[in-house]
Amino acid sequence: MANARYYAALVYFLDAFRSDGSGKRRQFVVVMPREEAVQAVQAEVGEGWNVTLTKRRVTMEQAAGMRLRIGRVVRELPEAE
């Protein structure tokens, strides 16, 4: 369970919004240190997007069920989530 606790601590959710005011939004989940998360998603979406960390967190059980590997993982979430 200690491994799951460590893993959950590295899972962050981020929102990316178009900077042109169109209202277009994309959501991402990342597994990496917090200090690297925004930069990693910014590299994924490219210019024209503003990226912010959300307050959303996961429990240890949710983190284990996401089947994301520990490391530098950036995954875009479907719009429904």
pLDDT at 67 over 70: yes
Res. 3 pLDDT band, cuts 50 70 90:
low
% the chain with pLDDT above 70? 83
Res. 1 pLDDT band, cuts 50 70 90:
very low
Residue 32 DSSP label: S
Query: Which of 63, 80, 76, 81 lies closest to 29 in space, CA to CA?
Result: 76
The reported pLDDT for the residue numbered 13 is 92
Query: Which of 77, 46, 64, 80 lies closest to 10 in space, CA to CA?
Result: 64
pTM as predicted: 0.79
Residue ranges per structural domain of the chain: 2-76
d(CA 55, CA 46): 23
